[in-house]
Amino acid sequence: MKTFMRMLRELYSGPYQAALVFSFTFVAALTIAVGAWAISTTVNNYLSRAMNERVARDAHLAVTFYDLRLREMSAVVSQLAYDPTIADNLKAAASGDTAARQALETEILNKVRGGMPGESYFVAILDSRGVITAGALLSAGGGQTIATPGGNWGGLPIVRAALAGETILASTEIIPQEYLVNINLDQQAVVALLDTPKAAPQPYDPREGTAGLAIFGAAPIFDPDGQRLGVAIAFHMFNNDFTIVDQIKDAAQIDTVTIFLGDLRVSTNVMTETGERAVGTRLSQEVAEVVLQQGTEYVGEAFVVNQNYITRYEPLRDHTGQVVGVLYVGTPQSSFTQLLNTLTEQIFLVAAITILMTFILATPVSRFITRPLKDLRELVYASRRVIEGDLDARASVTAGGEVGLVAKSFNNMLDALRSTREQLIHSENLASLGQLAAGVAHELNNPLATVLLYSESMLKERAEADPDNKDLRTIVSETKRCKRIVSDLLNFARQNQVVAQPTDIHAIIDELLEIAPRRIKTVKVDFVKDFDPNLPIIEGDPIQLRQVLSNLLINAVEAMPEGGAVTICTRTEPPGMITIEIQDTGVGIPPESLNKLFAPFFTTKPMGKGIGLGLSIVYGIVKMHSGQIRAKSQVNKGTTFTINLPIHLSPSRQDAPENRFPVSNDKKTMIG
């Protein structure tokens, strides 16, 4: 198993086309093999069921034929028992009257001549003691042998039952050797017991080999006054007589039929390896335990003589219901196995040819499938250029499907990487500028405060008409402007903490719009609110967020010197965040300025109208709130700022001092 897994790893680490060919062939082989196995199993089950059904039919026909012979035997003895000639002459013949005995013999021959087939068909009239008074042995070829009077059969159980009862009996009976000697059938009954594989160690009946098994009929004979005179008997012995088994085989188209005395074959058309009838072989012990000992039928596979058969065994019972023999029908399993093997070979031959065709067809198909993978080479070349620092490298997207998706994803990844890199550079620049601004503001704040203090004092001490007052007012005004610049620098440098609390964005916007008319006096601006009524309360710093919204609204108003409209839109999207859009209808921002919009000290306003820190401060506050801000603009049509803020801040963002911009530990800081 380990070797196989190692081979698989080596294969799949090689050329993709070879892996595809192997995969196609392997999947086809596995599927076809499973299908072939399923078909073979289904056919096997079907044939097994069909064979069992056939054997069951054969057994039914054999039992029916056997029962017919029993009824015919019953009819023969019934005719003799009710014949008045026999009743009139029986008592005299039993007393030794030769004429009466001859009359009985003549009547027997007239009644039963040609009545039943069989080479050992014996008919006799017994007196009230069970002694043979008259009888004859008839063969199928028409031969007739008159039996010698004498010989007491009264000890035979079925004869004893007929002498004691009033009903006609017909059953399968065992006739011991001592009875057969009197009528010269003892030699026909002899069957030599042969060693048989899987048979029981000892015979089922100790009389096996010498006794005869026969279809036996017995009917009591009464005179007109109802006095019992004797018994009419008739039987056909199976030992070494194959008439009935061959008739059943030919009439019912059954492969093999056997009649057992106990567990000994006495009549059969099952052949041995030498081509002889298997008379003298014995029943397998497995079957004997079921049929002979338990008295039930046996259905299924069984070992018969020298091979396995699909069989059915029916118990044969005497007039008392005791099991004395077995009726068997069966068909050799080899014929079924040969058919199944031939069919299985054909199935797997077709499967092998199909697998071979799959392998042959898989080669051009895999070549066609792997053709788009050639574009992966360009993807590799592009990745090498990226490793060398060329973030403008792109993979060509010519193939469709998964390869095309990979190329598109690769290009999108490079776009995101370049954007991330630009943001990182921007953040590092802001961090450096923040540190610089903090130092400059600190150094300038005290001198400016001194200048402002003395200039205001001098202005108060001088008279209104003093010609120097104009210069002093200019000094005070410019000093205050410098103070505002320093204040902006400090605000820019000190954005390092979010004091989070529940914040209503709509309330902040409403507050700003309420005071807007008092601050806007030169132009007419319409404010349009498109609020989401289900906008949730978010976690944020309301003071900082007010500064963000105020700055953006002021910028929007200043971008419309001729007046216009400002639309404020809020939405609860994407999931877990809110969106704020502020759109104006102003002059717009040139495309070349959009990428630098949030850079410190960048401004599109006229000199003296701002130093370019407002949007940088907005950017920093939004980032501290784990949000995003972006702008889109069209010249002379207006600008839209879009802010995404999370509804819930992560714990690390709440009430914890944090540098807004990462500062490199290196002594050199990148400033772009």
> What does the alpha-carbon distance between residue 510 and residue 416 come to, in Å, rounded to a whole number?
37
Which ranges of the chain have pLDDT less than 70?
1-17, 113-120, 366-375, 397-401, 403, 423, 426-443, 445, 484-485, 488-496, 518-522, 601, 604-612, 652-672
pLDDT digits 0-9 by tens, 6-48: 655 555 555 666 777 777 777 778 888 888 788 878 887 887 7
What is the model's pLDDT at position 440? 66
What is the model's pLDDT at position 652? 59
Nearest to 126 by CA among 156, 167, 166, 98: 156
> How many Cβ atoms from other residues are within 10 Å of residue 368's Cβ?
9
DSSP label at residue 585: -
Q: Which CATH superfamily is domain 48-338 in?
A: GAF domain (3.30.450.40)
Nearest to 403 by CA among 370, 373, 382, 378: 373
> What does the alpha-carbon distance between residue 123 and residue 113 come to, in Å, rounded to a whole number?
11
Q: How far apart are the first and last CA of the chain?
A: 60
Tokens 């008259």 belong to which residue?
134
Domain 497-646: give its CATH architecture.
2-Layer Sandwich (3.30)
* Contacts with 86 (C-beta within 8 Å, 6 or more apart), sequence order: 80, 104, 107, 108, 125, 221, 232
The domain segmentation of the chain, as residue ranges, is 48-338, 399-494, 497-646
Residues 277/278/279/282 CA torsion (nearest 10 deg): -170
- Classify domain 399-494 at the CATH topology level: Helix Hairpins (1.10.287)
What percentage of the chain exceeds 90 in pLDDT?
A: 40
What is the model's pLDDT at position 414? 79
What's the predicted TM-score (pTM) here?
A: 0.52
Residues 443/449/454/458 CA torsion (nearest 10 deg): 140
What is the model's pLDDT at position 654? 57
DSSP 263-304: TEEEEE--B-TTSSB-TT-B-BHHHHIIIIIT---EEEEEEE
> What does the alpha-carbon distance between residue 215 and residue 237 come to, in Å, rounded to a whole number?
7
Contact between 559 and 639 under an 8 Å Cβ cutoff? The reply is yes
pLDDT digits 0-9 by tens, 619-664: 888 988 989 999 999 999 999 999 999 999 877 555 543 434 333 3
Q: Is the omega angle on the peptide bond into residue 467 within 30 degrees of 0, that is, cis? A: no
* Contacts with 27 (C-beta within 8 Å, 6 or more apart), sequence order: none
